[in-house]
A and B are shown apart, each in its own frame.
Chain A
Amino acid sequence: MTDGTNGRPGDTRPGDGEPAVETTGLRREYRTRRGPAVVALDDVSVTVERGEVHGLLGPNGAGKSTLMKILSTVLLPTAGSGRVLGHDLATEHRRIRPLLGIVFGGERGLYPRLTARQNMRYWAALYGLTGREGAVRSDALLDELGLAERADDRVETFSVGMRQRLHLARGIVGDPRVLLLDEPTNGLDPLAARQLRELIRRLAGEGRTVLLATHDLAEAEALCDRVTMINHGRVVAAEAPKTLARLVTHQERVRVRAEEPLLALVRALPGVLGVEPDDDGTALVTVEDKESVGRVLAFVVERGVTEVRTELPGLEEVYLRLVHRDETRSVVNR
């Protein structure tokens, strides 16, 4: 880790006790020419500890990107405050910028006519690295992300997945302490997505803080220590991923690939609360406790079922239930 003695622009090594990211009552409105202002964020308070991988979950339009833009210092909040590594977002953006690595989603954000290596060295220069250091780090990252063989090809010839990997390499070329990642595995094939997740895990293992905006609860579960769920610009919940899933249900679930009449027999087992067949040929068996899970697993395996797994509620279900709970609470409080 850079310790502030080797000349990172703006680096003053703020107090170690402060969280990596901390926002308090953050609000962001967008003025429109006609009609009322649009509220993108409302009273958002988020704390991300140093070295934590923190997920930011929510559907499109929830306010994730707006929060990312505020944290990356390109947008000011309308109200509230925020600090990154102890520096104020509104007034100390010049101190924050050298400490951040930013990977926004989408294919854009690279120079398509330059090669991958040239893009990397360009961004290394923008982050203040010496020419030699920029070259060394660029080559190492291109190698690490499996782009070494195409390093001297123009980016315009790259696939979506290759661009996404190059985005991540670009984002960490400046040796950031805090990484802001917006849907970094979008467009990647499963193998590439897994490699990218391993890299993110390794970066976190080096002591960097990662804030990951994603739609994918499985990805959040695999990577994040904690997640914050946002709905209509407000924080709905902030917990560890499994705790978040448990917030919406204390029931256990088993998914099996089976058909009637076997499903009817499963329905009749003690502790089974429901069996819901899906269009894909599987069925979701909801049971009341872990003991019942074992009973269902043993029962179906004995009858030749080979595809069976336990699962937590998906993001959509967690989201819907939390939103419903949030909105019900709002009505009660009125």
Chain B
Amino acid sequence: MSRTAYASATGRRSRVLGWAARAGAADYGTVFTWKTWLLGWFVRMLAQVLFFATIGHLLGPGQARYLLVGNAVALVTLHGVFASASTTWELQYGTLPLLVASPTSPTLVLVGRSLFWLPDGVACGLGALLILGPTAGLHPTAVSLALIPALLVLVAVTSYCLGLFLGSLVLTAVDLRNVVSNAAFTVMLIVCGPEVPSGAVGPVLARLGQVLPLTHGLLAVREVLAGRADAHTAALAGWETLIGACWLAAALAVLGLRARRSRRDGAALFLD
């Protein structure tokens, strides 16, 4: 046998994360080409935002802007939550037992394999704000043009963490993957503030909104677009980050628990 060079733990993790992301992107590449993404998916996303903005025009002054911003940022969240569905793609390839038997944690692969949703979601959300914003009186300043992409990336990441958590729950229940992602997104549309302010849905649902991604990030976006970027905005971004970290921790905990349990009881996860 030849002498083999092994990478440091950090180098190994970053390389595995990169390859997992590449494998996920390759899967996504079979769904869309650049043309079909731009003329199909992106236009469809813009139409969705425009639909709500049009309703806002009918509702009264300021409502179009409220709904346009809310639904544009919600698009970012939608893509992040889609991670719950694409996480299960790993199971379909029969690679999980081999990943579990490898020296690297399969959790790292599951974290990386749906990362392609992040640039997709940010592109859709940012595109909607920039292209459709002027129809609702939105004229971003230089400061907001600098801050909004960063906040959208933050919302994408925190929503992705929630998506990972949901994906870890339905990892072996492939039939539920789209149900769960759609149900979660619908709940977020109601309680996180893209359609109506959180306070309008009652205290219980409002509290639920406080522990979900999107709520604080969206408020921060609204403040930046209103020209009020200040310490409060930074605090909102901080809360969004904290909530995302909590969902990521929950996802990792569930994945770890499932791996240990599967090894013990031979559950379907690793016995396909």
Rounded to whole Å, the gap between the CB of B22 and the closest CB of chain A is 7
Q: Which residues of A contact B8 (CB under 8 A)?
A: 7
CB of A114 within 8 A of CB of B5, answer: no
Q: Which residues of B contact A76 (CB under 8 A)?
A: 263-264
Which residues in chain B, 85-110, are within 8 Å of chain A measured between CB atoms? 93-95, 97-104, 109
30 contacts between A and B (CB under 8 A): A1-B1, A3-B3, A6-B3, A7-B5, A9-B12, A28-B266, A69-B270, A73-B101, A74-B101, A74-B262, A75-B266, A75-B271, A76-B263, A108-B95, A108-B272, A109-B98, A110-B93, A112-B93, A113-B23, A114-B22, A121-B19, A123-B102, A125-B104, A126-B99, A126-B103, A126-B109, A130-B6, A130-B7, A133-B4, A174-B103
Closest 4 CB pairs of A and B: A108-B94, A113-B26, A1-B1, A122-B19
Q: Which residues of B contact A6 (CB under 8 A)?
A: 3-6
CB of B1 within 8 A of CB of A127, answer: no
Rounded to whole Å, the gap between the CB of B261 and the closest CB of chain A is 11
CB of B12 within 8 A of CB of A128, answer: yes
CB of A128 within 8 A of CB of B94, answer: no
Which residues in chain A, 99-156, are within 8 Å of chain B measured between CB atoms? 100, 102, 104, 106, 108-114, 118, 121-123, 125-133, 137
Nearest CB to that of A113 among chain B residues? B26
CB of A111 within 8 A of CB of B95, answer: yes
CB of B104 within 8 A of CB of A132, answer: no
Rounded to whole Å, the gap between the CB of B171 and the closest CB of chain A is 15
Q: Is the interface of A mostly helix, strand, loop or mixed?
A: loop
Distance of A73 Cα from B264 Cα, bound (Å): 10
Q: Is A98 an interface residue (CB 8 A)?
A: yes
Q: Which residues of A contact B103 (CB under 8 A)?
A: 9-10, 94, 97-98, 126-128, 174
Q: Which residues of A contact B7 (CB under 8 A)?
A: 125, 128-131
Known A-B contacts A112-B93, A113-B26; A74 and B6 likewise in contact (beta carbons under 8 Å): no
Q: Is A8 an interface residue (CB 8 A)?
A: yes
Q: Which residues of A contact B11 (CB under 8 A)?
A: 130
Distance of A176 Cα from B7 Cα, bound (Å): 16
Q: Which residues of B contact A125 (CB under 8 A)?
A: 7, 12, 15-16, 18-19, 104
Q: Which residues of A contact B100 (CB under 8 A)?
A: 73-74
